[in-house]
Structure 1
Amino acid sequence: MEDKVLRKLFLGFIHIHILHHAKEHPIFGAWMLEELKEHGYDISSGTLYPILHHMEEDGLLVRENRNVEGKIRKYYTTTEKGNTVLDEARKKAYELFKEIKD
């Protein structure tokens, strides 16, 4: 039960994390998996790729296909909507952090 609750909570954090990095520079799935792992999020590609696709469908990310060593790699960057959502999420996260930090 606790695992499911924590998973739902952390999925929101993962979305924010994706937006943050996709705003800084184009990201791709394998890189994002490693980045998330460095921050303690142990998710599979079977979880991450649907998140990226849904964020693209929601207009938060835009995808660019690039040929890397003969393979097509999907790179994602934030859209204007994604930047707006990220800015709002940062404000909310900061307010929450101030409240719960002690």
Structure 2
Amino acid sequence: MDGREFYSSLIRLHILHHAVQEPIFGLGIIEELARHGYKLSAGTLYPMLHDMESKGYLSSVEERAGRQLRKYYRATPQGKVMLEEAKEKVKELFGELFEEE
């Protein structure tokens, strides 16, 4: 077992967290996630971004960056609410995982 099924939700929370702070783009978020120990390929990340956008958590705009067209994602109001709700759940779980026995 490699843990991917467990990490998928954590990665989505990371994406939402960063998309609330500032616009994100594919390669930038791949590099940010790598700093946290997640190794994602574009083939894994982009379907995740598209899924989060289709569910209303992210919105995107395309902007020209030099010669290339880059898609930037931001958290929607729904995404911000979801992140706040998830933070409460993570705090609760963190408390249970690390409480003294």
TM-score in terms of structure 1 length: 0.95
**Equivalent in the alignment of 1:52:** 49
Residue in structure 2 matching 1:14, options 6, 11, 15: 11
Ranges in structure 2 where 5+ consecutive residues have no aligned partner: none
Residue in structure 2 matching 1:35, options 32, 36, 42: 32
Q: Deviations over 1:19-44 (max 9, x none)?
A: 00000000000000000000000111
Q: Deviations over 1:34-72 (max 9, x none)?
A: 000000001111000000001000000000100001211
User: What are the residue-to-residue correspondences of 1:1-102 with 2, within 5 Å?
Assistant: 2-3=1-2, 6-102=3-99
SS at match of 1:9: helix
Q: Give the letter aligned to residue 41 of structure 1.
A: Y
**Identical amino acids, percent of aligned pairs:** 45
* Segments of 4+ moved more than 6 angstroms: none
